[in-house]
Structure 1
Amino acid sequence: MDTVEVAGLRIRYRRSGVGPPLVLLHGAYEDSRIWRRQFDALSDAFTVLAWDAPGCGGSDDPPPGFTARDLGEALAGFLREAVPGKPHLLGFSMGSGIALELYRAHRSVPASLLLVSAYAGWAGSLPPEEVERRYAQVLAELERPPEQFIPEWLPTLFTDRAAPAVVQETSAIMADFHPSGMRALLNASAHADYRDLLPTIVVPTLLLYGAEDVRAPQSVAREMHRQIPGSKLVIIPDAGHMAALEAPEAFNAEVRRFLHGVTEG
């Protein structure tokens, strides 16, 4: 892994391939290892980069009071330091919110947005009581050993048909989370609301969702699609929230198809 420094934080990242830059932004309780199948499949045509977000993997934990805007600025700094050219940003779940935060302040930076299992922020896509339930759930989890609560997450991330090895690998990655880092990320992003931003997006945007996602269901997907002008919505059959892992061939094919359309257009 390589390292850059952004606003006093060491950010670790992985990089492979040659071609237009595609930057992968992982979700909560994860790090760049979650993208192994995308590195394997897409680095023949793209320079694929995946960061460990602040507070995750090999990156430093952010300071107290870190905000959603700070997350967006951390990503902007990372792109300046590590990414050649105008990047395509692919964000999964929490990572999609970070991509939107970046777009709010730096609209000329991304060549396109690929938002996977995405919300307009929890507060922008979910009822207030569900936002508070999720927030309280994660806060409580941060006081418990991972083996006590990670198994409770897995049925909300995958269908019951997911390959056991994939579920096991994901569980092991999630168990490596930083409690203080995850707390900072939760406080920064749990109440974000990007509804006002969505209609202003003018870069090509792909929305990718698993057909059986119970965390970001199709009602959320359709509303995101309705709000983002000219966006393309793709529903991947037989997949849950983590479609990139559960149905990697279909997922990677859709990413490749979209990016080739953008780069060749």
Structure 2
Amino acid sequence: MTGTLLNHHAEGPASGAPLLLGPSLGTSYALWDKVAPDLSATHRVIRWDLPGHGGSAADLIGPGAGVGDLAALVLALADSLGVERFAYAGVSLGGAVGLHLAVHHPERIESLAVICSSAHFNGSKPWQERAAQVRAEGLERLAKSADARWFTAGFTVPELVRDHRDADPGAYAACCDALAAFDLRDRLAEISVPTLLVAGREDPATPPAHLREIADAVPSAALVEIPGASHLAPAQCPDAVLTALRAHLNGTAGRGMEVRRAVLGDAHVDRAQARQTPFTARFQDFISRYAWGEIWTDPTLSRRERSMITLTALVAHGHYDELAMHVRAARRNGLTPEEIGAVLLQTAVYCGVPAANSAFATAQRVLAEEEG
């Protein structure tokens, strides 16, 4: 198979904001099958195949290739489609391509999402050994262990394993060469575009620490950890990945999370994030994006005033667990214990004495804990 451009699949409105999706080594653009259709409701989604994978020609890459060579192929694809500037999301090797583009071609990148990837891939030796193995014996043995490297026990996506087995060994080995030479740790601070890092909590290939390293180095980056996800998170936990990407692409997730942490405290938000599951991920996104990213950031009211309103509403509806959380938040927003007491006294008139009685008991406990 020969060609000058990467094989790709485009979907979504032609007038939509362009979004390029990059795959992991050994997979095709089918990796995004459970995510891309939903993203295409608002974006012009363009998925591409690595050289020698899916429908891309093997001779687009050769021995000794670097991630920069793959990035150049992605830019050539974008140019052929008339796409000047685009959002980018990639998994593993596809994520490394995104990091390279953000450092070396920032004028082309609108935003970046790096999923189950790294700024380095545990040194060159393992990849050099894998490249040599594949050049000598092909991909059958590696394909047999794909499930263990890609997913948690008992989960599989047969189509992706088949893609692994059918990839061109020479092109696969050249991609291993690229991973062996990749190390962008000393350039991460140069990334200036909005950046999302997504880690699979069960990922043995690029564990959360690798994504946290990038998040710590890239200014204003956001990090999301997905419980139960291994290396190919878009295939195993598509809803959680979709939720994170939607929030990131909409531009309110980072701002909302920042305000949420400022008001509720890191410890509370960290606990909420740790309890997040694929079932609750969309609700957590809703809270961060809508409540904290839109309502609490509206400058019409101060955070002090919003705390007073919130305390009153929680007393009125008897949500005392939430009230305890927001008494702490009110203290962070500058309310004194006396002011909190005055708000609760006001609720006795308009929400009822029994409700206010329970509210005072909750607030007194929380304020004593805070004082202690």
What's the TM-score, normalizing by structure 1? 0.86
Contact in 1 for aligned 2:84/2:108 (Cα 8 Å): no
* Structure 1 residue 69, shift from structure 2 partner: 2.6
Contact in 2 for aligned 1:9/1:59 (Cα 8 Å): no
The residue aligned with 1:198 is 188
The residue aligned with 1:54 is 51
- The residue correspondences of 1:236-251 to structure 2 (distance < 5 A) are 236-251=226-241
CA distance in 1, matches of 2:228, 2:64: 40
The residue aligned with 1:80 is 79
Deviates more, 1:79-88 or 1:248-257: 79-88
* Residues 107-139 of structure 1, C-alpha deviations (whole Å, 9 max, x = no match): 1101001000111022xxx3x4xx412431343
Looking at secondary structure, tell me which structure has more helix per residue.
2
The residue aligned with 1:109 is 108
* Structure 1 residue 88, shift from structure 2 partner: 0.6
Say which of 186, 195, 199 aligns to 1:209: 199
Give the match's secondary structure for 2:107: coil
Contact in 2 for aligned 1:117/1:208 (Cα 8 Å): yes
* Residues 194-226 of structure 1, C-alpha deviations (whole Å, 9 max, x = no match): 012211110000000111111111221211111
CA distance in 2, matches of 1:232, 1:57: 31
Letter in 2 for 1:178: D
Contact in 2 for aligned 1:26/1:92 (Cα 8 Å): yes
Say which of 1, 4, 8 aligns to 1:9: 4
Distance 1:65 1:133, change over 3 A: closer
Looking at secondary structure, tell me which structure has more strand per residue.
1
CA distance in 2, matches of 1:63, 1:35: 26
CA distance in 2, matches of 1:30, 1:83: 26
Name structure 1 gaps, 5 residues minimum: none
CA distance in 1, matches of 2:93, 2:29: 13
The structure number with the bigger radius of gyration is: 2
Give the match's secondary structure for 2:192: coil
User: Residue 39 in 1 paired to residue 27 in 2?
Assistant: no
Identity of aligned residues (%): 28
Name structure 2 gaps, 5 residues minimum: 256-372
Higher RCO (C-alpha under 8 Å, 6+ residues apart): 1
